[in-house]
C-alpha cells in the first residue's frame, strides 16, 4: 500500500491543479472588443464582431466563422450557400485559403472563447475586418494590437453586479411589502392574508376553521352559563342529584370552551405566520381580499371583507 501513496498524492495534486486551471479559465475576463467594436482608421473597411455557440469549442468556432463569412458575402453581394461554407470551415482550412476559395476578403484580427456556464457548451467570438462595398480588392486593413484589453469587461461586470444587486434589493422590498400587507390583513380577518397572496384554499380553510373554533367556544360558554343558572337556582327545589349533574355539565362545557378558544388562538398564530411566509401566487390577473370598514346608519363602523380583481 505504501508504494501507491506517492502515486495517489500525485493524482490528487493533478486534480487540484486542473480544478484551479478551470477556475482561472472561468474567471478570465473578455476583451474590450467583445463589448465595443474598435474605431477604424480609414473608410475602406469596418469591424465586425461575430459570436458562435456550440456544444464543443470547435463547434462554436466553426459557427462563428461560418456566420462571419456569410456576413461578408451578404455585405458584398456575393452569392454563397451556407452549407458549403459550413462544410469548408469544418474541414479545418485556414481563413486565408477560405477567403481565396470564396473570393471573400476578410481579416480576423482577434478571437477568444469561453465556456457558457449558464446553459453549457462554448461561446466563441471573432473580431473581423471586412471591406466596405467598393473596396473588396483594395481595402486597407489596420494592425489591431489590443486583443487583450480588459477595461470594458471590468466596467461591464461592475454595472452588471450593480444591476443584479439593485434587482435583488427591489425584489426583497417587494416581498417584504407584500408580506406586510398580507400579515396586516390576517390580523383583522384570519386567512385573508393567504387569499391576498392567491392561496385561496388555505385562506378559506383558515377562515372557516377559525370561525368554527370560535363559534364552538362561544357555544360551549353559553351552555356552561345555562348549567350555572341551574346550579344557582334560588327556589330551593333543585335536588342534590340535579345539582351534581348540572355542575358536571358546567365543568365539561367550560373546559371544552377553553379547548376551543385555545385551538383558535393556536390557529390564529399559525394564520399570522402563514400570511407572512406563504408563497405569493398572484399573477397579472390578480384577485385579492382586504378587510374593510363599512359605515352604518347609526354612525358606527362594521368590519367587512372586500374583494378586488385586476384584469
| Lowest mean per-residue pLDDT among 63-72, 96-105, 131-140, 216-225 | 96-105
Count the Cβ atoms, other than its own, within 10 Å of residue 110. Answer: 21
**Residue of higher predicted confidence among 125 and 151:** 125
Provide mean pLDDT across the span 127-151.
85
Burial bucket for residue 292 (CB in 10 Å: 0-12, 13-18, 19+): middle
The C-alpha atoms of residue 223 and residue 215 are separated, in whole angstroms, by 12
Given a cut of 80, is residue 138 above it in pLDDT? Answer: yes
| Lowest mean per-residue pLDDT among 154-158, 182-186, 202-206 | 154-158
SS3 for 277-306 is: HCCCCCCCCEEEEEEEEEECCCCCEEEEEE
Half-sphere exposure (Cβ direction) of 306: Cα atoms closer than 13 Å: 9
**pLDDT per position as a tens digit, 65-105:** 888 888 888 877 777 777 777 887 887 767 777 777 777 78
Provide mean pLDDT across the span 18-35.
64
Three cell numbers at 256?
A: 371544552
Q: What is the pLDDT of residue 233?
A: 78
**pLDDT per position as a tens digit, 294-307:** 666 565 656 565 65
**Residue of higher predicted confidence among 152 and 255:** 255
The C-alpha atoms of residue 63 and residue 210 are separated, in whole angstroms, by 64
CA dist list (Å): 276 to 175, 178, 199, 289:
10, 8, 12, 15
Q: Please name which of 145, 143, 165, 161 lies closest in space to residue 153, comparing C-alpha atoms.
A: 161
**Cα–Cα–Cα angle for 268, 269, 271, rounded to 5 degrees:** 60
The C-alpha atoms of residue 40 and residue 90 are separated, in whole angstroms, by 30
Given a cut of 60, is residue 20 above it in pLDDT? Answer: no
- Whole-number average pLDDT of the chain: 80
**Residue of higher predicted confidence among 160 and 295:** 160
Helices and strands of the chain, counted as H and E runs: 9, 5
pTM > 0.75: yes or no = no
**pLDDT per position as a tens digit, 248-287:** 999 999 999 999 999 999 999 999 999 998 888 876 445 5
**pLDDT per position as a tens digit, 40-67:** 889 999 899 999 999 999 899 888 888 8
Q: What is the pLDDT of residue 268?
A: 93
Q: What is the pLDDT of residue 105?
A: 81
Q: What is the CA radius of gyration of the chain?
A: 39
Amino acid at each position: 500500500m505504501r508504494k501507491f501513496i506517492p502515486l495517489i498524492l500525485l493524482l490528487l495534486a493533478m486534480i487540484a491543479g486542473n480544478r484551479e486551471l478551470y477556475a482561472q479559465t472561468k474567471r478570465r475576463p473578455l476583451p474590450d472588443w467583445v463589448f465595443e467594436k474598435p474605431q477604424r482608421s480609414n473608410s475602406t473597411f469596418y469591424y465586425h464582431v461575430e459570436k458562435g455557440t456550440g456544444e464543443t469549442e470547435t463547434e462554436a468556432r466553426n459557427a462563428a466563422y461560418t456566420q462571419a463569412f456569410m456576413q461578408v458575402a451578404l455585405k458584398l453581394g456575393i452569392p454563397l450557400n451556407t452549407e458549403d461554407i459550413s462544410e469548408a470551415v469544418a474541414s479545418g482550412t485556414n481563413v486565408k485559403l477560405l477567403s481565396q476559395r470564396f473570393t471573400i476578403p476578410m481579416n480576423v484580427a482577434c478571437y477568444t472563447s469561453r465556456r457558457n456556464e449558464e446553459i453549457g457548451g462554448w461561446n466563441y467570438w471573432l473580431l473581423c475586418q471586412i471591406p466596405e462595398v467598393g473596396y473588396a480588392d483594395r481595402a486597407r486593413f489596420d494592425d489591431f494590437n489590443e486583443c487583450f484589453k480588459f477595461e470594458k469587461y471590468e466596467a461591464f461586470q461592475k454595472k452588471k453586479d450593480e444591476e443584479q444587486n439593485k434587482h435583488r434589493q427591489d425584489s426583497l422590498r417587494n416581498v417584504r411589502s407584500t408580506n406586510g400587507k398580507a400579515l396586516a390583513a390576517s390580523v383583522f380577518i384570519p386567512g385573508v392574508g393567504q387569499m391576498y397572496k392567491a392561496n385561496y384554499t388555505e385562506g378559506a380553510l383558515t377562515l372557516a376553521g377559525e370561525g368554527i373554533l370560535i363559534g364552538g367556544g362561544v357555544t360551549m360558554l353559553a351552555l356552561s352559563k345555562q348549567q350555572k343558572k341551574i346550579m344557582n337556582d334560588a327556589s330551593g327545589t333543585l335536588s342534590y342529584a340535579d345539582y351534581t349533574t348540572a355542575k358536571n355539565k358546567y365543568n365539561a362545557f367550560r373546559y371544552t370552551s377553553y379547548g376551543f378558544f385555545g385551538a383558535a388562538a393556536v390557529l390564529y398564530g399559525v394564520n399570522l405566520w402563514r400570511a407572512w411566509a406563504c408563497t405569493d401566487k398572484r399573477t397579472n390577473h390578480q384577485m385579492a381580499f382586504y378587510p374593510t370598514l363599512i359605515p352604518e346608519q347609526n354612525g358606527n363602523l362594521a368590519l367587512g371583507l372586500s374583494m378586488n380583481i385586476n384584469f
